Amino acid sequence: MLQNSPGPGRGPRLPVGVNREYLPLAGHRKNRTEDIMGNSETPAKISGLLIGGSGLIGGYLLHYFKTRTPEVDVRAPNSKKLSLRELGDITDYFKKHKPDFVINTAITAIRSDALLSYEVNYLGSINLARVALALGIPYIHISSAATLPPGDNLTE
């Protein structure tokens, strides 16, 4: 059950019992930092990684982050900059960019190259999850029916 609309500009509705202030990202980084003399610095931005940002779902999420969440800096590397097929590439990318969260919306259509679909849709998702878990990074995986083979007996 979802709560009533949170009002304009407050973001998506949340499940009943989930308080926006207690979401993992809300307190993941301090809103401001101070040096030993007590001088405040600018607020630290939350760093996100969006895999599949050129697709339908990923493109929408990227647009949302860029236009509605100035406190979140989201990277959306293409497959040339981050290969989901190589565990080492994922590990190196995560260690270099140190994202605070990862959202995976990447897919290849099942009707395309079967091996590529297996490596990206299945192994790529597992590789992302394993690296995120090992580094303590929150991971969200979003998929669609486009990853399934065509057929008459498919339901969501």
Which pLDDT tens digit goes with each residue over 122-147? 999 999 999 999 999 999 999 876 55
Kindly state the tokens that stand for 33: 């930092």
CA distance 21 to 14: 11
SS3 of the chain: helix, strand, coil, percent, to 5: 35, 15, 55
The pLDDT assigned to 17 comes to 44
In our burial notation (b when 16+ CB lie closer than 10 A, e otherwise), range 68-100 reads: eeeebebbbeeeeebbbeebeebeebbeeeebb
Query: Tens digit of pLDDT for each residue in 53-112?
Result: 988 899 999 999 999 999 999 999 998 999 999 899 999 999 999 999 999 999 887 777
CA quadruple 119, 143, 135, 29: dihedral, nearest 10: 150
14 has a pLDDT exceeding 80: no
2 alpha-carbon distance from chain centroid: 22
CA distance 121 to 102: 16
Q: β-pairing, 72-75 with 139-141?
A: unpaired
The pLDDT assigned to 126 comes to 94
30 has a pLDDT exceeding 70: no
Q: Is 7 left (phi over 0), alpha (psi -120 to 50) or beta?
A: left
The pLDDT assigned to 56 comes to 87
pTM value? 0.68
